[in-house]
Amino acid sequence: MSSARTIVVGVTGGIAAYKAVNIVRAFVLAGHSVHVVATEAALRFVGKPTLEAISRNPVHTDLYEGVAEVRHVAIGQSADLIVVAPATANTIAKLAAGLADDLLGNTILASTAPLVIAPAMHTEMWNNPATVANVKTLRERGVVIVGPGVGQLTGADIGAGRMEEPDTIVAAALALLDDGSARQDLAGQDLAGRRIVISAGGTREPLDPVRYLGNRSSGRQGVALAEAAAARGASVILVAAHLEVPPPAGVDLRPVSTALELQAAVEAAAATADVVIMAAAVADYRPAERRADKIKKDEAGDTFRLDLVKNPDILAGLARAVPRPAVIVGFAAETEADPAARLELGRQKVARKGCDYLVLNRVGWSQGFATESNDIVVLDRRGDIVNEASGTKLSVANCILDVIVQAGTPDHHPSD
Ligand code: C5P
């Protein structure tokens, strides 16, 4: 654990302010000196006496109190770390603009300490282009953004915007204190604030009420990607087609069945995403006709011809769209045994699809599907190998995510 340091906790006016009490308490119990700076709005959600009792220090709000001791800069100058939790959309906007119209704004501007913020707001506000741009600005300045999580919001609705759990925020902040250089690459949370859409599983294309054309994808690799991305702090939407394994906790699950359903779900989610990873095995063709009643053997005879029509190529469509997510990753499962020939197929595919990265793996009767491990190379859009991995699907997932982290903060966003 780090030695006792001075942590300023900024509390702003959202319903999650009550959870700030647990954050303050955890820092105090870890032996740190904690000073709470609350906005007026925050004190409508949580009482000043509570924050004072838990922090064991006076709580400051007013810019015009303590003027003689130049409090508006003194608190910021004394801080080793500033944590704003919850951070409302309004506070995020003010921070991005560098506004200092209250004590918290002054404190942050007057400080050179690392800044951690934990956004909390409704999904619509989090997805609003203004908030997206403000979060991007803060991230580019090195602010560590923890969450938001996906889950039950204040009302009946569920979505991205819920403040990350206090334990996660505290762990992220303390990791930063222990390693001052970790401002950008906060251990374990290097995808914090990123919105990632992952498709997983295999689509099913119905022929009649009881039969479908499907494939052997179990969804394990996509689920491992979702699990790893969520663990690294991303907001994850998992578009799931017939998974054979349970989805991870903490992701926004969107179940689908056919390629067209998968397309609709991925495109809707991609509109506000930074990253899309197409790990699903999408049927290239669907039956031209979906029969209302079960097809009878006697009507078909000894051979049965089936007309198929082409499904849209969802990955290629996303890559062509304007605007489009900053990073688009495709998968290519090839049965070609020769590694050089397989690589060449991958190179052609990345060029054809127009995606930023392509994860190439070999599949066969006993390889790739329903197994616990995988063996991949990641190609960039020029066809160069940028990473390779072999091991559990979770470790492979982390190697793929490393490439996305190294691709850096997106320099454009669908909402830009
Ligand atoms: O062309 P192929 O099916 O090999 O490409 C595989 C990649 O393209 C995967 O990322 C898959 O999710 C995606 N794909 C798609 N739409 C299709 C077929 C595949 O997005 N109709």
Instruction: Answer yes or no: is the C-beta of 400 below 6 A from any ligand 1 atom.
Output: no
Are residues 401 and 229 in contact, defined by beta-carbon separation less than 8 angstroms? yes
**261, 315, 336, 348, best to mutate for ligand 1 pocket (most atoms within 8 Å of CB):** 315
Tokens of 226: 């979702």
| CA dist., res. 148 & res. 164, Å (int) | 5
Domains recognised in the chain with CATH numbers: 6-178 (3.40.50.1950), 189-407 (3.40.50.10300)
Secondary structure class of 258 (helix, strand, coil): coil
How many Cβ atoms sit within 10 Å of the Cβ of residue 288? 9
Instruction: Answer yes or no: is the C-beta of 332 below 6 A from any ligand 1 atom.
Output: yes
215 is catalytic: yes
Give the model confidence (pLDDT) of 48-93 as tens digits. Answer: 999 999 999 999 999 888 777 777 788 999 999 999 999 999 999 9
Rounded distance from Cα 209 to ligand 1 centre (Å): 26
Are residues 172 and 189 in contact, defined by beta-carbon separation less than 8 angstroms? yes
Rounded distance from Cα 388 to ligand 1 centre (Å): 20
Give the model confidence (pLDDT) of 263-289 as tens digits. Answer: 999 999 999 999 999 999 999 999 999
Instruction: Answer yes or no: is the C-beta of 336 below 6 A from any ligand 1 atom.
Output: no
Q: Tell whether the model's pLDDT for residue 184 goes beyond 70.
A: no
**Structure confidence at residue 358 as a pLDDT band (50, 70, 90):** very high
Distance of alpha carbon 54 from the chain centroid: 32
Angle at 324 between CA 313 and CA 381, to 5 degrees: 70
Q: Check the annotation: does 313 bind a ligand.
A: yes
> E strand or H helix at 15, and its extent?
none
Rounded distance from Cα 405 to ligand 1 centre (Å): 23
Give the model confidence (pLDDT) of 360-409 as tens digits. Answer: 998 767 667 667 778 899 999 999 999 998 888 988 999 999 899 888 64
Give the model confidence (pLDDT) of 283-337 as tens digits. Answer: 999 999 999 999 888 877 788 889 999 999 999 999 999 989 999 999 999 988 8
